Chain A
Amino acid sequence: SAVISQKPSRDICQRGTSLTIQCQVDSQVTMMFWYRQQPGQSLTLIATANQGSEATYESGFVIDKFPISRPNLTFSTLTVSNMSPEDSSIYLCSVGGDRTQYFGPGTRLTVL
């Protein structure tokens, strides 16, 4: 199984600011995913981060709001830009294989 770490684990931010979340995996993976889990809700995929190319965003999510970097096969960042209280969520990084998909511990974001 993959070991995934995320930084920060939690943060409280002011509206209008931006936060960059880091995801580190202990092995090389082709695809990394960013999910959001709003309070009391299930998980929603934001985007797929591929190394060496632009991220692929799901419907309802745009690059200007959630820019993603994927500089190598073990690391990715997700930035939540120009935050509003509606962005208060847990943001989770995930990696997958043929028969598995694992999640990082998540970043709990509160926007005031």
Chain B
Amino acid sequence: GQNIDQPTEMTATEGAIVQINCTYQTSGFNGLFWYQQHAGEAPTFLSYNVLDGLEEKGRFSSFLSRSKGYSYLLLKELQMKDSASYLCAVRGGSNDYKLSFGAGTTVTVRA
């Protein structure tokens, strides 16, 4: 089975940094995705990690440790528009692309 855990809510101040953790226990691993989802909209792809280490994309970075079953998404220089739900998703098999999602972390950015 798949078990993916992330915090339910986080609050931070505009301009600050927030780190969203995700731990997973899955049968097979072939990559971890982070998505951003604003209320009423579809998820937007943010990042993909399949090897250990840090991937940086502008204000967003994502880290993966496969041995620990752990990832985090780092959001720097927070802006009000970053208020959204952030979804951690794991791709389990090597030959299928289906994703198992965590429950999502709602990030609220305050002025």
Main secondary structure of the interface of A (DSSP, over half): strand
Contact partner of A33 among B35, B43, B45, B98, CB < 8 A?
A: B98
How far does the alpha carbon of A63 sit from the alpha carbon of B48 in the complex, in Å?
31
* Closest residue on chain B to residue A31 by CB atoms: B97
Given A33-B97, A99-B31, A101-B97, A42 and B104 touching (CB < 8 A)? yes
Identify the interface centre among B43, B44, B100, B102: most chain A CB within 10 Å of its CB: B43
Number of inter-chain CB pairs below 8 Å? 52
How far does the alpha carbon of A48 sit from the alpha carbon of B97 in the complex, in Å?
9
Question: CB of A102 within 8 A of chain B?
Answer: yes
Report yes or no: A31 in contact with B96, Cβ–Cβ below 8 A.
Answer: yes
B: number of interface residues (CB 8 Å)? 22
Given A42-B102, A42-B103, A100 and B42 touching (CB < 8 A)? no
Contact partner of B43 among A45, A97, A100, A103, CB < 8 A?
A: A103
Which B residues contact A (CB, under 8 angstroms)? 31, 33, 35, 41-45, 48, 50, 87, 89, 91, 96-104
> Can you show 22 pairs from A to B with CB atoms below 8 A apart?
A31-B97, A33-B97, A41-B103, A42-B101, A42-B104, A43-B87, A43-B89, A45-B98, A45-B99, A45-B100, A48-B98, A94-B99, A96-B91, A96-B97, A99-B50, A100-B45, A100-B48, A101-B33, A101-B91, A103-B42, A103-B45, A106-B41
